[in-house]
A and B are shown apart, each in its own frame.
Chain A
Amino acid sequence: MKRVLIAGIGNVLLGDDGVGPCVVRQLDSTYSFDEGVELEDLGTPALDFIDHIAGLDALIVVDSVDNGKTPGTITLYRKQDLLKTASSVRMDTHSPAIAESLLAADVFFGMPPREVLLVGITAESYAAGCNLSESVRAAIDSAVQHVLSELARLDILHKKKEASPSNVWWSAVPHPQPA
């Protein structure tokens, strides 16, 4: 049995930053997977990300990216691409730490995830709010397909579920207008 984590990363209160958790929740409500596949909305983890990824056969991260491309563009990154960004001066415990966690799982514990894919969706806006921009929302289905293709490449099966109620609780009700 392969251990695989599909992790949605991002702050669901900050506009398009919530796209990672949205994609993972859509996957979770639409498909069932082989045993050993976990889906998690991890929010905005710092170094505790290490504990989620150590020892995995494969890690698939879905996150918004700031790469200057047209909003909604999907770009795939592998482990080497992510490691380029390890930081040099850390000011706070809260800074995101995807690259550092990958390194730590490797050199400290000797248990890096064997395969790593980041499905990056170029964001349009990080303004406070629980809804995605149109451009980013339109990319969700494609992001889902990229995750499924990666699973297929890893020989992991998925099945479509019968019922698929939305579990994106933070945008289930329209964002109320300020009084």
Chain B
Amino acid sequence: MAKRITIDPITRIEGHLRVDVEVDNNAVSNAWASCTMWRGIEKILRGRDPRDAWLFTQRFCGVCTTVHAMASVRAVEDALKLEVPPNAQYIRNLILIAHALHDHIVHFYQLSALDWVDVLQIPKADPAAASKLAETLSPWTRNSRNELKAAQDKVKAVASSGQLGIFANGYWGHPAMKLSPEVNLLAFSHYLQALEYQRKALQAVGILGAKTPHIQTLTVGGVTNAIDLDSQAALGMDRLEMIRTLLADVIQFVQQVYFVDVCAVAAMYPDWFKIGGGVRNYLAVPDLPLDSKGSAYDLPGGYIMNGNIAGTRPFKTAADKEFRDSVSEDVTHAYYHGGKPLHPWKGETEPEFTGWNGEQKYSWVKAPRFNGQPMQVGPLAQVLVGYAQGHALTRKYADLAMGKVGAIAGIQVTPDMLHSTLGRHAARAIRAAMLAELAQKHWQLLVDNIAKGDFAVHNQPVFTEHEVEGVGTHEAPRGTLSHWVVVNNGKIKNYQAVVPSTWNASPRDSAGASGPYEASLMRTPIADAEKPLEVLRTIHSFDPCMACACHTFDPEGKRIAEVKVL
């Protein structure tokens, strides 16, 4: 008899990811992913000046502010066929890279590492042995016995104060936890250090963006950073040097700690290369443009159908015609009024709430489709399309990661094994290592271009009476983000954002095809239905972001997560 488990965090009023799974014979036999809140924020943009849209869109979400700002200015630029000066491209790229590094570090350590790391084991660890083990894995200088002992003391203090809730995950002592006390300690010590290094990445965003959260220096047609090498008020050598120093620290942390930890943890859970695959259609857009036209990019894009890596189709540009023409959103199982799937430029957002019914409508997330098919987006998609195209930087770090995991685990790791829960974590670490290298490159590109005497940062947008359409894409930390705008007579007529988590958290479509979260959970083994850690592991591997919404404080301390076993 199948049991139903509902995981429904009710932190705030609403707006969260809810997952329902049926468990039969200790494995998931059916799954539904849903979002519990209608947003419809796009409607606020209708009638407004397209040059202001990014200020509003960066308020869609408190964590991904910059990504929605960037996609928005790009959408309007695409509609106006407006180019962006090289300095502006490099400054934007540096902001995007720094933000992504911050985001990937926080995701791994603060969100998902504790799905694999058992805090309760840490007091039993021998810090000297842990330090010795660390030396064999990485040249990182902050793995000393003293540093590890200090981390261990913090855990002991937290445990004795009864505040373990701070770790906000919490299936300690679960039978699916496999790491030794020393590895648990090492990972936790890096959890603490990650908080320091993610902050440095945000500081770099803050210098280039004037403040964080909510950067101020974007504009349709470029950026507003004044460049003057001799000035302390403008973007000059002082600030560029601060950015370089901050990024250098972050780069070292990513390459010597985050990348290594993901490989080591993956090597100790090799079964999870066989779990959590699901939808094997992948989509990624090119990003980090290298010139004003956007004719060359440092991150390749494209798509893969049915796991056929050899048959990858590349996208030439960030607003590729095939991408433009092939996206639609299906509302068969979403709480919206409507019939057949609509292209985002024609998109409607008319709510029709009917209550949760797995056979009919059950989510506020629409089902985005590419040529009618569900697609998985995120670092794994980006790494696979790059790997298939022989992209040198992708190959460099993907091969390094697969080799490292293989050497520690004593197994052969192949690209096909990346269609999995661990594959998504590995791909995010691979992407972070690539971005770390690209951070240095784009900093140098900016400095060299300024040194040539080019100080241009902005091209003036010109609106006409004609109706124009544009799409702005960004390969965000969670995957392909696209903003779609229709501009009429200088005003916004329609605006739709198709965000990464709607691709991944999508409900079923009219053909009954499940979205990536849902498909990835099928056949996942569940050791204890009361503590569905395995479901969280796979969902977390996508880096979900459903709560880009209300932030109301609930002071009554209600139960925050509800795990119902029916």
Contacts and interface: CB of A to CB of B under 8 A. Distances in A.
B122 to A, nearest CB: 14
Given A89-B168, A100-B168, A95 B192 contact: no
B137 interface: no
A48 B202 contact: yes
A148 to B, nearest CB: 21
Contact of B106 (A47, A65, A82): A47
A80 to B, nearest CB: 11
A11 B62 contact: yes
B118 to A, nearest CB: 15
B139 interface: no
A82 B556 CA distance: 9
Contacts of B214: 41, 43
B66 to A, nearest CB: 12
A94 B7 contact: no
A155 B65 CA distance: 35
Interface string B354-390: 0000000000000000000000000000000000000
Interface residues of B, number: 70
A40 B166 CA distance: 25
Contacts of B213: 42-43, 45, 48
Looking at chain A's contact residues, the main secondary structure is loop
B549 A65 contact: no
A11 B13 CA distance: 13
A169 B55 contact: yes
A176 interface: yes
Interface string A68-102: 10000001010001101111111111111110100
A14 interface: yes
Interface residues of A, number: 63
Contacts of A41: 214
Contact of A85 (B60, B195, B554): B554
A42 B16 CA distance: 20
B194 to A, nearest CB: 10
B47 A177 contact: yes
A43 B58 CA distance: 10
Contact of B40 (A47, A68, A128): A128
Contacts of B546: 91-92, 94
A17 B39 CA distance: 13
A44 interface: yes
Contact of A67 (B158, B555, B561): B555
Given A43-B62, A126-B550, A176-B46, A95 B561 contact: no
Given A11-B551, A93-B110, 12 more contacts: A13-B41, A17-B551, A43-B59, A46-B62, A47-B106, A51-B202, A87-B165, A89-B9, A94-B63, A95-B12, A108-B154, A176-B47
